[in-house]
């Protein structure tokens, strides 16, 4: 496996490196450590001269890369470094494509009250534009250090099934327990319960039929994921709920003490735009790490990247 680790030298990026070092990688695996810098001229106090910080920033970048390599020493994988002079999202997506990386790893990052905004900007840009799975590592207190708990959000889409196949190939620490979660965005969700009671008997039967079919479809979707994941993981729980996908997934992740939430690149089957909203909410608000199984499309030259100074 070839892993692209994006680092900005922050504490959260170092935690991502430490998590990567804890995985049971082998000498056949490879870790590419990427740090992006963008030289820019600034005025001095008299605004009469431009001072180019390129050399200074390159020196700092070299130190960041060296420190990250030190953290990764525990990993048995081959390690190399890359310095890039583009904005983080653009550098990450382009480097992952060029090097044919199998996985992109980033640390969760934010500053003060803008923490969620910064997480959403670069991560969303990478999630939308990259064709590689994206792992956003978040630091949290493990419920049980001997058990690694995963929530797999299944929706029956091709991207979700591809995410399951990728999860099967991912080296993970220790004993793994996995919960399959499917959230039904019901066709009747926008009908308030108080008004549903006023519907005539014919419509009540129709609503009951719709909900019954939705549950049956949900059970079939869960079975599909079982078929792929049972070969490696111990599936300890199946969860089928109706409601808002992001809210329900976040609640289950917290309730089960998950260490990782896995979502496909679509979010809800059939709704192309849902990838941005559901995945963004999960990445921004989950207490634990998040894996987005991106296999949607190749980036095009006209793509517009959301820019931020940090991954």
Helix (H) or strand (E) holding 94: helix 88-99
CB 47 within 8 A of CB 37: no
Domain 1-132 homologous superfamily, CATH = HUPs (3.40.50.620)
Q: What integer pLDDT is reported at residue 278 of this predicted model? A: 74
How many angstroms separate the CA atoms of 120 and 114, rounded? 10
pLDDT tens-place values along the chain, 311 residues long:
999 999 989 888 999 999 999 999 999 999 999 999 876 666 555 444 455 667 888 899 999 999 999 999 999 999 999 999 998 999 999 999 999 999 999 988 654 444 544 454 777 778 778 889 999 998 766 777 889 999 998 887 777 888 889 999 999 988 899 999 988 866 555 666 666 555 656 666 777 777 777 777 777 777 778 878 888 888 778 888 888 888 999 999 999 999 999 988 754 444 444 445 777 788 888 999 999 886 554 444 333 333 333 33
Q: How far out from the chain centre does Cα 79 lie?
A: 23
Q: What share of the chain is helix, strand, coil (3-state, %, to 5)?
A: 40, 25, 35
CB 157 within 8 A of CB 184: no
pTM of the model: 0.81
- For 43, 58, 86, 102, the CA distances from 50, given in Å and listed in that order, are 5, 18, 20, 41
Top CATH class, 140-293: alpha beta
The sheet carrying 260-264 orders its strands as: 78-84, 30-36, 2-6, 103-107, 134-137, 289-293, 260-264, 147-153, 175-184, 234-242
**């549903």: which residue's tokens?**
196
Common-topology check for domains 1-132 and 140-293: yes
Taking the domains of the chain in order of start, what are their residue ranges? 1-132, 140-293
Strand partners, 248: none
């Amino acid at each position: 496996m070839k892993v692209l680790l994006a680092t900005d030298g922050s504490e959260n990026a170092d935690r991502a490196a430490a998590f990567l070092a804890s995985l049971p990688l082998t000498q056949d695996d490879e870790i590419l450590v990427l740090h992006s810098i963008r030289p820019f001229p600034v005025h001095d106090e008299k605004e009469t001269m431009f001072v180019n910080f390129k050399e200074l920033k390159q020196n700092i970048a070299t130190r960041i890369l060296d420190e990250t390599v030190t953290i990764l020493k525990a990993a048995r994988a081959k390690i190399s470094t890359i310095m890039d002079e583009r904005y983080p999202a653009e550098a990450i997506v382009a480097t992952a494509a060029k090097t044919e990386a199998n996985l992109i790893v980033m640390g969760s990052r934010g500053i003060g009250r803008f923490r969620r905004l910064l997480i959403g900007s670069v991560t969303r840009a990478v999630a939308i534009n990259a064709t590689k799975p994206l792992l956003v590592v978040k630091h949290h207190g493990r419920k049980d250090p001997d058990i690694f708990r995963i929530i797999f959000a299944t929706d029956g889409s091709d991207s979700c099934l591809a995410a399951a196949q990728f999860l099967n190939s991912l080296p993970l620490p220790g004993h793994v327990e996995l919960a399959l979660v499917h959230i039904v965005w019901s066709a009747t969700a926008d009908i308030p319960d108080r008004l549903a009671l006023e519907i005539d008997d014919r419509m009540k039967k129709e609503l009951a039929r719709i909900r019954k079919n939705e549950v049956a479809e949900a059970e079939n979707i869960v079975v599909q994921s079982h078929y792929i994941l049972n070969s490696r993981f111990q599936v300890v729980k199946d969860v089928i709920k109706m409601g808002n996908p992001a809210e329900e997934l976040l609640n289950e992740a917290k309730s089960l003490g998950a260490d990782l939430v896995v979502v496909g690149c679509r979010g809800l089957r059939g709704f192309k735009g849902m990838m941005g909203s559901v995945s963004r909410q999960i990445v921004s608000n989950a207490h634990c790490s998040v894996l987005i199984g991106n296999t949607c499309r190749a980036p095009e030259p006209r793509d517009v990247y959301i820019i931020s100074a940090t991954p």
